[in-house]
Amino acid sequence: MKLIITFLFLLATSFLNAQVTDIDGNTYKTVKIGEQVWMSENLKTTRFTNGDSIPFVLDRWDWRMLEKNETPDYGFYDDDSLKEGQYGKLYNYYVVSNGNIAPEGWRVPTSEDWEQLIRHLGKYEAAEKLKSTSGWHEEGNGTDEVGFNGLPGGFRDIDGSYRGLGEHGAFLSSSDNQSMAISYTLSYNRNLSKGYGAKRAGRYIRLIKN
Protein backbone atom coordinates (compact mmCIF):
# COMPACT_ATOMS: atom_id res chain seq x y z
CA MET A 1 0.00 0.00 0.00
CA LYS A 2 2.83 2.35 0.90
CA LEU A 3 4.49 1.72 -2.47
CA ILE A 4 1.26 2.55 -4.31
CA ILE A 5 0.86 5.84 -2.43
CA THR A 6 4.49 6.74 -3.14
CA PHE A 7 4.03 5.96 -6.82
CA LEU A 8 0.90 8.11 -7.06
CA PHE A 9 2.64 10.98 -5.31
CA LEU A 10 5.60 10.81 -7.68
CA LEU A 11 3.24 10.65 -10.66
CA ALA A 12 1.35 13.74 -9.52
CA THR A 13 4.62 15.56 -8.83
CA SER A 14 5.89 14.73 -12.31
CA PHE A 15 2.84 16.43 -13.82
CA LEU A 16 3.40 19.51 -11.69
CA ASN A 17 7.08 19.72 -12.63
CA ALA A 18 6.74 18.68 -16.28
CA GLN A 19 7.81 21.14 -18.94
CA VAL A 20 7.15 21.68 -22.62
CA THR A 21 9.47 23.44 -25.07
CA ASP A 22 8.46 25.33 -28.22
CA ILE A 23 10.40 25.57 -31.49
CA ASP A 24 12.14 28.77 -30.31
CA GLY A 25 13.50 26.96 -27.26
CA ASN A 26 11.16 28.65 -24.76
CA THR A 27 10.38 26.26 -21.91
CA TYR A 28 7.04 26.37 -20.08
CA LYS A 29 5.87 24.93 -16.79
CA THR A 30 2.77 22.75 -16.84
CA VAL A 31 0.11 21.76 -14.33
CA LYS A 32 -2.41 18.94 -14.07
CA ILE A 33 -5.93 20.12 -13.29
CA GLY A 34 -8.45 17.31 -13.02
CA GLU A 35 -7.89 15.07 -16.06
CA GLN A 36 -6.23 17.84 -18.09
CA VAL A 37 -2.63 19.00 -18.32
CA TRP A 38 -2.21 22.70 -19.15
CA MET A 39 0.71 25.05 -19.66
CA SER A 40 0.89 27.38 -16.67
CA GLU A 41 2.52 30.13 -18.75
CA ASN A 42 1.45 32.03 -21.86
CA LEU A 43 2.91 31.05 -25.22
CA LYS A 44 5.85 33.13 -26.55
CA THR A 45 6.90 31.45 -29.79
CA THR A 46 7.64 33.48 -32.92
CA ARG A 47 7.49 30.49 -35.25
CA PHE A 48 5.17 27.71 -36.30
CA THR A 49 6.37 24.18 -35.66
CA ASN A 50 7.41 23.79 -39.32
CA GLY A 51 9.86 26.65 -38.85
CA ASP A 52 7.84 29.35 -40.64
CA SER A 53 7.95 32.73 -38.92
CA ILE A 54 4.81 34.32 -37.50
CA PRO A 55 4.83 37.97 -38.61
CA PHE A 56 5.22 40.55 -35.86
CA VAL A 57 2.87 43.50 -36.42
CA LEU A 58 3.80 46.74 -34.70
CA ASP A 59 1.83 49.28 -36.72
CA ARG A 60 -1.78 49.77 -35.62
CA TRP A 61 -3.08 50.29 -39.15
CA ASP A 62 -1.47 47.07 -40.33
CA TRP A 63 -3.15 45.26 -37.43
CA ARG A 64 -6.55 46.62 -38.49
CA MET A 65 -6.11 45.10 -41.94
CA LEU A 66 -5.59 41.56 -40.63
CA GLU A 67 -9.26 40.60 -40.94
CA LYS A 68 -9.24 41.37 -44.63
CA ASN A 69 -5.98 39.54 -45.27
CA GLU A 70 -6.63 36.69 -42.80
CA THR A 71 -2.93 36.51 -41.99
CA PRO A 72 -1.47 35.06 -38.77
CA ASP A 73 0.29 37.73 -36.69
CA TYR A 74 1.35 38.52 -33.14
CA GLY A 75 2.27 41.47 -30.95
CA PHE A 76 2.93 42.07 -27.26
CA TYR A 77 1.44 44.55 -24.85
CA ASP A 78 2.45 48.19 -25.51
CA ASP A 79 5.22 46.85 -27.79
CA ASP A 80 7.17 46.58 -24.52
CA SER A 81 9.67 43.72 -24.31
CA LEU A 82 9.44 43.70 -20.51
CA LYS A 83 5.70 43.07 -20.71
CA GLU A 84 6.34 40.42 -23.37
CA GLY A 85 8.63 38.62 -20.93
CA GLN A 86 6.04 38.81 -18.19
CA TYR A 87 2.84 38.07 -20.11
CA GLY A 88 3.86 36.39 -23.36
CA LYS A 89 2.67 37.25 -26.85
CA LEU A 90 -0.75 38.26 -28.14
CA TYR A 91 -1.79 36.23 -31.19
CA ASN A 92 -4.69 36.62 -33.57
CA TYR A 93 -6.98 33.70 -34.37
CA TYR A 94 -5.31 33.06 -37.73
CA VAL A 95 -2.23 31.84 -35.83
CA VAL A 96 -4.45 29.21 -34.21
CA SER A 97 -6.40 28.24 -37.33
CA ASN A 98 -3.10 27.60 -39.10
CA GLY A 99 -3.03 24.41 -37.00
CA ASN A 100 0.73 24.44 -36.63
CA ILE A 101 1.48 26.38 -33.45
CA ALA A 102 1.71 23.66 -30.78
CA PRO A 103 4.67 21.32 -30.15
CA GLU A 104 4.05 17.61 -30.70
CA GLY A 105 1.68 16.18 -28.11
CA TRP A 106 0.03 19.53 -27.39
CA ARG A 107 -2.72 21.64 -28.93
CA VAL A 108 -4.60 24.90 -28.56
CA PRO A 109 -7.58 24.08 -26.31
CA THR A 110 -11.04 23.86 -27.80
CA SER A 111 -14.05 25.57 -26.30
CA GLU A 112 -15.02 22.22 -24.79
CA ASP A 113 -11.58 21.92 -23.14
CA TRP A 114 -12.19 25.26 -21.44
CA GLU A 115 -15.72 24.26 -20.42
CA GLN A 116 -14.37 21.04 -18.91
CA LEU A 117 -11.89 23.09 -16.88
CA ILE A 118 -14.68 25.35 -15.64
CA ARG A 119 -16.90 22.41 -14.69
CA HIS A 120 -14.06 20.79 -12.77
CA LEU A 121 -13.30 23.93 -10.77
CA GLY A 122 -16.89 25.07 -10.34
CA LYS A 123 -18.62 27.68 -12.48
CA TYR A 124 -18.45 30.46 -9.90
CA GLU A 125 -15.14 29.46 -8.31
CA ALA A 126 -13.07 28.84 -11.45
CA ALA A 127 -11.82 32.39 -11.97
CA GLU A 128 -10.48 32.83 -8.43
CA LYS A 129 -8.73 29.46 -8.56
CA LEU A 130 -7.12 30.22 -11.94
CA LYS A 131 -6.07 33.84 -11.43
CA SER A 132 -2.57 34.80 -10.25
CA THR A 133 -2.20 36.02 -6.69
CA SER A 134 -0.97 39.49 -7.68
CA GLY A 135 -1.18 42.07 -10.45
CA TRP A 136 -4.95 42.49 -10.65
CA HIS A 137 -6.72 45.84 -10.11
CA GLU A 138 -9.35 46.60 -7.48
CA GLU A 139 -8.45 43.72 -5.17
CA GLY A 140 -9.23 41.28 -7.95
CA ASN A 141 -6.34 38.93 -7.23
CA GLY A 142 -6.99 35.21 -7.26
CA THR A 143 -5.78 32.36 -5.09
CA ASP A 144 -4.07 30.48 -7.96
CA GLU A 145 -5.18 27.38 -6.10
CA VAL A 146 -4.48 25.02 -9.00
CA GLY A 147 -1.24 26.58 -10.26
CA PHE A 148 -2.61 27.90 -13.57
CA ASN A 149 -1.19 31.39 -12.89
CA GLY A 150 -3.71 33.27 -15.02
CA LEU A 151 -2.21 36.72 -15.53
CA PRO A 152 -4.00 40.04 -16.21
CA GLY A 153 -2.11 40.69 -19.44
CA GLY A 154 -4.98 42.43 -21.24
CA PHE A 155 -5.55 41.99 -24.98
CA ARG A 156 -4.99 43.72 -28.33
CA ASP A 157 -8.12 45.30 -29.76
CA ILE A 158 -9.20 45.23 -33.41
CA ASP A 159 -7.84 48.75 -33.95
CA GLY A 160 -4.37 47.65 -32.87
CA SER A 161 -4.50 49.31 -29.44
CA TYR A 162 -3.70 47.50 -26.21
CA ARG A 163 -6.29 47.36 -23.45
CA GLY A 164 -7.13 45.79 -20.11
CA LEU A 165 -3.73 45.39 -18.45
CA GLY A 166 -4.33 44.52 -14.81
CA GLU A 167 -8.03 43.99 -15.45
CA HIS A 168 -8.36 41.13 -17.93
CA GLY A 169 -6.49 38.14 -19.28
CA ALA A 170 -7.94 36.90 -22.59
CA PHE A 171 -7.14 33.43 -23.94
CA LEU A 172 -7.90 32.02 -27.38
CA SER A 173 -9.55 28.68 -27.98
CA SER A 174 -9.24 26.81 -31.26
CA SER A 175 -13.02 26.99 -31.70
CA ASP A 176 -14.96 29.54 -33.72
CA ASN A 177 -18.45 30.14 -35.06
CA GLN A 178 -17.30 30.88 -38.61
CA SER A 179 -17.10 34.67 -38.37
CA MET A 180 -15.95 35.06 -34.75
CA ALA A 181 -13.24 33.53 -32.59
CA ILE A 182 -14.24 31.98 -29.26
CA SER A 183 -12.12 33.04 -26.31
CA TYR A 184 -12.18 32.87 -22.51
CA THR A 185 -11.42 35.85 -20.33
CA LEU A 186 -10.42 36.15 -16.69
CA SER A 187 -11.47 39.50 -15.24
CA TYR A 188 -10.83 41.23 -11.91
CA ASN A 189 -14.55 41.81 -11.31
CA ARG A 190 -16.28 38.73 -12.73
CA ASN A 191 -15.99 35.00 -13.33
CA LEU A 192 -14.20 33.32 -16.20
CA SER A 193 -16.34 34.20 -19.19
CA LYS A 194 -16.79 32.86 -22.70
CA GLY A 195 -16.85 35.43 -25.47
CA TYR A 196 -17.05 35.87 -29.23
CA GLY A 197 -14.75 38.38 -30.89
CA ALA A 198 -13.07 39.43 -34.10
CA LYS A 199 -10.48 37.00 -35.35
CA ARG A 200 -7.95 39.79 -35.81
CA ALA A 201 -7.98 40.70 -32.09
CA GLY A 202 -4.90 39.64 -30.12
CA ARG A 203 -5.20 37.25 -27.19
CA TYR A 204 -2.94 34.90 -25.26
CA ILE A 205 -2.57 31.17 -25.84
CA ARG A 206 -2.32 28.42 -23.26
CA LEU A 207 -1.70 24.96 -24.69
CA ILE A 208 -3.23 21.74 -23.40
CA LYS A 209 -1.74 18.27 -23.62
CA ASN A 210 -3.36 15.84 -26.07
In the predicted structure, residue 8 carries a pLDDT above the cut 50: no
| The predicted structure's pLDDT at residue 6 | 37
Query: Concatenated DSSP letters for 97-116?
Result: HTT--SPTTEEPPPHHHHHH
User: What pLDDT shows up at residue 155?
Assistant: 97
**pLDDT score recorded for residue 129:** 96
CB 188 within 8 A of CB 170: no
**pLDDT value at 4 more than 80:** no
Integer CA distances (angstroms), 84 to 23, 41, 44, 77, 117, in order: 17, 12, 8, 7, 26
pLDDT tens per residue across span 76-100: 999 999 999 999 999 999 999 999 9
Strand partners, 185: 170, 193
pLDDT at 141 over 60: yes
Give the residue from 111, 72, 75 showing the smallest Cα distance to 94. Answer: 72
Task: Say whether pLDDT at 70 is over 90.
Answer: no
How high is the pLDDT of residue 15?
Answer: 47
E strand intervals along the chain: 19-21, 27-33, 36-39, 74-75, 90-91, 106-107, 153-156, 162-165, 168-176, 181-187, 190-197, 208-209
Q: Report CA Rg, the chain.
A: 17
Structural domain containing residue 31: 2-209
In the prediction, which pLDDT does 59 show? 85
Total domains, the chain: 1
List of residues 6+ apart from 175 with CB closer than 8 A: 110, 111, 112, 182
Please give the share of the chain, as a percent, with pLDDT higher than 70.
90
Do residues 88 and 44 touch, judged by C-beta distance below 8 A? yes
3 three-class SS: helix
The answer to whether residue 12 scores a pLDDT higher than 80 is no
Confidence of residue 2 (pLDDT cuts 50, 70, 90): very low
Q: What is the pLDDT of residues 114-140, one digit of tens each?
A: 999 999 999 899 999 999 999 999 888
Q: How far apart are CA 74 and CA 153, in angstroms?
A: 14
